[in-house]
Amino acid sequence: MAILKSIFTWWDGATIGTAWFTARAGRKVGEDALGNVYYEAKKAVDGRCRRWVIYNGANDASRVPPEWHGWLHGSLDALPDQALPPVRAWQRPPEPNWTGTPQAYRPAGALEAGGRRAAATGDYEAWSPDQA
């Protein structure tokens, strides 16, 4: 059953085709704190090497840290630990996309947040075609 799962469930990690392609055409260049592994193609096409990530867990692009996102998209030529300055004490770690989860942002008027919002301030006046 695990073989069938690895063949057909692309949303839950790398499939057999991805693993085969990665082993054949890519070389490992690094790993982030979440366990995602980053690869670069062995051969360049049009002067650029293809870059990709194999996620550790669910395939969710918001789980790629900003520094590795820059490397994946070619903004950084060198690896992030070589090209970027060290993390400063005031910087917070990145958060994943919480949309669709209980941790998602809920504004004051949202039904999930109680459905109550502040009263209108009265500074809005509707336009009427009769007014000139």
* pLDDT tens, position by position, 76-106: 888 988 888 888 999 998 888 888 888 888 8
Residue 105 lies in a domain: no
Residue 66 lies in a domain: yes
**Which domain covers residue 62, as residue numbers?**
2-86
Residue 19 CA to residue 3 CA, distance in Å, equals 13
Q: Is the pLDDT assigned to residue 1 strictly greater than 70?
A: no
Q: What is the pLDDT of residue 106?
A: 86
Residue 72 CA to residue 78 CA, distance in Å, equals 11
How many structural domains is the chain composed of?
1
pLDDT, average across residues 23-46: 88
Residue 117 lies in a domain: no
Strand partners, 45: 48
Residue 91 lies in a domain: no
pTM of the model: 0.67
Q: What is the pLDDT of residue 25?
A: 82
Q: What is the pLDDT of residue 28?
A: 92
Residue 40 lies in a domain: yes
Q: What is the pLDDT of residue 94?
A: 83
Residue 74 lies in a domain: yes
Residue 71 lies in a domain: yes
Residue 102 CA to residue 113 CA, distance in Å, equals 11
Residue 20 lies in a domain: yes
Q: Select the more confidently predicted residue: 114 or 88.
A: 88
